[in-house]
Amino acid sequence: MISLNQLKKVFTTKDGPVTAVDHIDLQVAEGQIYGIIGYSGAGKSTLIRLLNRLEDPSGGNIQIADWKMDQLSEKELRQARQEISMIFQHFNLLWSRTVRENIAFPLEIAGVPKEERMERVDELIDLVGLSGRGDSYPSQLSGGQKQRVGIARALANNPKVLLCDEATSALDPKTTDSILELLVDINKKLGLTIILITHEMHVIRKICHRVAVMEEGKIVEEGEVLEVFRRPKEAMTKEFVKQVTEPEETQEAAGELFTDTDNHIVYQLTFVGGDAKKPLINDVVKTFDVTVNILQGKISHTQHGPYGSLFVAMEGEDNEVSKAITFTREQGVEVEVIYND
Ligand SMILES: Nc1ncnc2c1ncn2[C@@H]1O[C@H](COP(=O)(O)OP(=O)(O)OP(=O)(O)O)[C@@H](O)[C@H]1O
């Protein structure tokens, strides 16, 4: 659905040129929820704004559905933008218009007759869970409800692609989850391709099928979400994965627990998919002469199945511990030493 080839954006500033997007190649399949994660300044917003040509590229190509986005006339761009919608961090609603009128706005621009427009608006209000709020003004809505209006408006013209620019960053965690669930719901119901940018790994973990990690305008790592969680390669990716697994807290806890004894090693075991359901610790202590102390464990759900992280301290003769670790790895579980006093 989306193909980027050597995409580049350089801004000219008074301090000289700034390369915000640096020769990016990217493919997104139809129906995918694709996440782009990076810290502030990585170039995410510029990249997403290039996709619908809110920014003009300095080089490279952008293909979305049948549109060669970098080569369109003004008229073609207007047509293409009906197929490529966007939602924003601060919703960008029209404050003097009701919910119904906000959602109807893109239909008015597209010249949809009034009766058809009203029917479509009612459908969209139902789809995003805003029944009964059609006559409210944005100022009378919560943040989550405002974003629901943004989503309904973005879906009005039956787009093929939805771009989400930090769409949940202004929302509290519970509201964030409900908006993410709505995005998954419309992805499934409508087969819509969704690209979202975020600085929160929780958002990627919860709804994305694939993820790209951005740093200094480049994509430094890309892959299926579960695979990236299981084996993050780049330092930047490992930092983002930590946002979900919380090893800092665990390291602190391990330090506290084991200051007075010696020879303790804390391991992080990472399970994905079906591995998360195996009674692995039970098998380890039955098979090898080791004791295992569980410090912290967590299973989270991703779009491709469960992802689990378990922090354990293991004690025993070196030989037995080493055999237990080899056995664990043979079960498809990643093992990493995170604390060794
Ligand atoms: N219009 C502009 N003019 C000049 N420089 C810009 C412009 N827009 C972005 N930049 C620069 O491009 C780089 C990437 O910015 P961008 O906003 O795309 O990053 P980001 O990852 O989205 O970060 P944030 O989440 O803070 O917006 C930054 O160095 C930024 O200062």
Residue-by-residue pLDDT tens, the chain, 341 positions: 999 999 999 999 999 999 999 999 999 999 999 999 999 999 999 999 999 999 999 999 999 999 999 999 999 999 999 999 999 999 999 999 999 999 999 999 999 999 999 999 999 999 999 999 999 999 999 999 999 999 999 999 999 999 999 999 989 999 999 999 999 999 999 999 999 999 999 999 999 999 999 999 999 999 999 889 888 999 999 989 888 876 566 667 666 666 555 556 888 888 887 766 678 889 999 999 999 988 888 888 888 888 888 888 888 899 999 999 999 999 888 898 876 66
pLDDT at 247: 57
CA of 257 to the centre of ligand 1 (A): 44
Query: Are 213 and 85 in a shared domain?
Result: yes
In a domain, 130, yes or no: yes
Cα separation, 99 vs 148, in Å, equals 10
Closest CA to 168 of 54, 84, 87: 87
Does 41 sit in the ligand 1 pocket, CB within 6 Å? yes
Q: In what order do the strands lie in the sheet with 161-165?
A: 84-88, 161-165, 193-198, 33-37, 210-215, 218-224
pLDDT at 257: 65
Element (H, E) at 101: helix 99-109
Asked which of 191, 214, 236 is the last residue of a domain, the reply is 236
Where in the sequence is the domain holding 206, given as residue range(s)?
2-236
Query: Are 98 and 73 in a shared domain?
Result: yes
Instruction: State which of 46, 163, 214, 218 you would mutate to test the pocket of ligand 1, scoring each by most atoms of that ligand within 8 A of its C-beta.
Output: 46
Does 45 sit in the ligand 1 pocket, CB within 6 Å? yes
Q: Which protein residue's CA is at the shortest distance from atom 29 of ligand 1? A: 41
In a domain, 50, yes or no: yes
Does 11 sit in the ligand 1 pocket, CB within 6 Å? yes
Q: What is the pTM of this model?
A: 0.87
Query: Are 41 and 190 in a shared domain?
Result: yes
Q: In what order do the strands lie in the sheet with 334-340?
A: 291-302, 305-315, 265-272, 334-340
pLDDT at 6: 97
CA of 45 to the centre of ligand 1 (A): 7
Query: Are 229 and 270 in a shared domain?
Result: no
8 A C-beta contact, residue 222 and residue 24: no
Query: Are 12 and 130 in a shared domain?
Result: yes
**Assigned token pair, 325:** 């670790």
Does 167 sit in the ligand 1 pocket, CB within 6 Å? no
In a domain, 241, yes or no: no
In a domain, 74, yes or no: yes
Does 49 sit in the ligand 1 pocket, CB within 6 Å? no
Cα separation, 75 vs 223, in Å, equals 36
pLDDT at 246: 66
CA of 247 to the centre of ligand 1 (A): 30
* ipTM of the complex in this document: 0.97
Cβ-count burial 129-147 (b if 16+ within 10 Å, e if not): bbeebbeebbeebebbbbb
Q: Which residues pair with 35 in a beta bridge?
A: 196, 211
Does 40 sit in the ligand 1 pocket, CB within 6 Å? yes
Q: Which protein residue's CA is at the shortest distance from atom 4 of ligand 1? A: 11
Asked which of 214, 236, 258 is the last residue of a domain, the reply is 236
**Assigned token pair, 280:** 């692995």
Does 46 sit in the ligand 1 pocket, CB within 6 Å? yes
CATH number at residue 258: 3.30.70.260
Number of domains within the chain = 2
pLDDT at 76: 93
CA of 41 to the centre of ligand 1 (A): 5
Does 24 sit in the ligand 1 pocket, CB within 6 Å? no
Instruction: State which of 44, 90, 197, 218 you would mutate to test the pocket of ligand 1, scoring each by most atoms of that ligand within 8 A of its C-beta.
Output: 44
Asked which of 178, 212, 236 is the last residue of a domain, the reply is 236
Query: Are 127 and 250 in a shared domain?
Result: no
pLDDT at 332: 85
Instruction: State which of 37, 45, 199 you would mutate to test the pocket of ligand 1, scoring each by most atoms of that ligand within 8 A of its C-beta.
Output: 45
**DSSP symbols for 16-85:** EEEEEEEEEEEEE-TT-EEEEE--TTSSHHHHHHHHTTSS--SEEEEEETTEEGGG--HHHHHHHHHHEE
Query: Are 191 and 228 in a shared domain?
Result: yes
In a domain, 275, yes or no: yes
CATH number at residue 205: 3.40.50.300
CA of 131 to the centre of ligand 1 (A): 37
Instruction: State which of 12, 13, 18 you would mutate to test the pocket of ligand 1, scoring each by most atoms of that ligand within 8 A of its C-beta.
Output: 18
Residue with tokens 């965690």: 173
Query: Are 109 and 128 in a shared domain?
Result: yes
Residues in the chain: 341
Does 213 sit in the ligand 1 pocket, CB within 6 Å? no
Q: Which protein residue's CA is at the shortest distance from atom 25 of ligand 1? A: 40
Query: Are 250 and 212 in a shared domain?
Result: no
Query: Are 51 and 118 in a shared domain?
Result: yes
